[in-house]
Amino acid sequence: MAICLVLAFLAGNRDISWADTEVYVMSFLDYTPTLSDLTQYSQPFGYAEMGFYYIGVVVKTFTSNVAIYFLVVALLSFFFLYKAFDKYCLYPIFGVCAYVSRFYLNRNFVQIRAGLSYAIILMAVQYITKRDWKRFFAWVFVAYLFHHSAIIAVPLYFLCMLDIKKRHIVMGLGMAFVIAAFFSNVVRSMVADNASDLSVDTYVTEDYQRDWGLANPLIYFQTFLLLVYTFTENRMRLTTSHYLTIRNAYFYSTLILITLSCYTTLSGRVSSQFATLEMVIIPSIAYSFLKRDRWIAYLGMGAALTAIFYLNYYGH
């Protein structure tokens, strides 16, 4: 909890030079009214989600301090993340490290609407295991108010109703690679035709046409983690009662990443919602090692996470 508070404080007090931050500052200072001035319907500037807009309205009612605005958003995000760390992680401190290295900078410094929305979705994953569809879809709706990509979580509930075996995961990955390798034109056509309906217009424009395709190293990173997590099932089931839900969610994420790989940015953004479950998967993999050999896993995990954080940091 203390680490989550520190991370939220750092995110809230970040420099305005971070990507997207200037737009949020302009939206908050120039286009966000107070509750007393909210006499007619108005649209947010720079984004469309009204739930996130009203967070700004409430904060603006008490202060116009941008740092406090960002801090409130960060605290809300880490409140739900803390719930997720506590609920799913065998080693919560390692889960935090995995999250920081791979997602913290993008989610809490740049894509703050998605960061809040995805944190809510992660907390709600537990209700899939419990087959509590009312609570799950209620939280998905709340998350949707902060970022429309939360709608991607809807199919997961139905996917988790299937009895997915190891062979199904291998076959699904194989089919995804075939689609990415030989039917990318079909994928492009389908995405282009539905971009507006799915609110992903921005990510199919020329500015986002960096097409790594199957050369994207992230594809193989996720595939490797998924297969290890899948084929150590007997051991992994001991780490959390939500094992199958987490595995299926990460499988879903990896399929999206591979299938949409002709749009590198789009595939990364859409798949990252459940890729965040690496905060559970990576620390759990260390548990599959014999006790005397776990230091090797810790050392390797630490080196990998440090390298990923380094690349993310200097990538910004």
**Spatial separation of the C-alpha atoms in residues 258 and 263, rounded to whole Å:** 10
**Spatial separation of the C-alpha atoms in residues 11 and 1, rounded to whole Å:** 15
When pLDDT is averaged across residues 152-158 and rounded to a whole number, the result is 95
pLDDT beyond 60 at 169: yes
pLDDT beyond 60 at 8: yes
Type of residue numbered 98: A
Which of 121, 143, 105 lies closest to 20, judged by CA?
105
Are 44 and 50 within 8 A, CB to CB?
Answer: yes
Higher pLDDT: 38 or 276? It is 276
**Spatial separation of the C-alpha atoms in residues 266 and 68, rounded to whole Å:** 31
Which of 123, 116, 109, 125 lies closest to 143, judged by CA?
116
When pLDDT is averaged across residues 291-297 and rounded to a whole number, the result is 79
Query: For residue 171, with 0-12 CB atoms within 10 Å meaning exposed, 13-18 middle and 19 or more buried, which class applies?
Result: exposed
Phi-psi domain of 46 (left: phi exceeds 0; alpha: psi -120 through 50; beta: other): left
Long-range contacts of 229-237, Cβ-Cβ distance < 8 Å, separation of 24 or more: 229/281, 229/284, 229/285, 230/166, 230/169, 231/166, 232/285, 232/288, 233/166, 235/287, 235/288, 236/284, 236/287, 236/288
Question: At 78, is the pLDDT very low, low, confident or very high (cuts 50, 70, 90)?
Answer: very high
- Cα radius of gyration rounded to whole Å, the chain: 20
The pLDDT, as a whole number, for residue 153 is 95
The pLDDT, as a whole number, for residue 16 is 87
**Spatial separation of the C-alpha atoms in residues 12 and 67, rounded to whole Å:** 6
Question: At 269, is the pLDDT very low, low, confident or very high (cuts 50, 70, 90)?
Answer: confident
**Spatial separation of the C-alpha atoms in residues 44 and 55, rounded to whole Å:** 11
> According to the per-residue pLDDT averaged within each range, which of 30-39, 95-104, 248-257 is highest?
248-257
Type of residue numbered 178: V
Mean pLDDT score across all residues of the chain: 88
Question: At 267, is the pLDDT very low, low, confident or very high (cuts 50, 70, 90)?
Answer: confident
The pLDDT, as a whole number, for residue 26 is 92
**Spatial separation of the C-alpha atoms in residues 199 and 148, rounded to whole Å:** 7
> According to the per-residue pLDDT averaged within each range, which of 126-135, 189-198, 262-271 is highest?
126-135
Longest dimension (CA), the chain: 66
pLDDT-above-70 percentage for the chain: 92
pLDDT beyond 80 at 64: yes
pLDDT beyond 70 at 40: no
Question: At 204, is the pLDDT very low, low, confident or very high (cuts 50, 70, 90)?
Answer: low
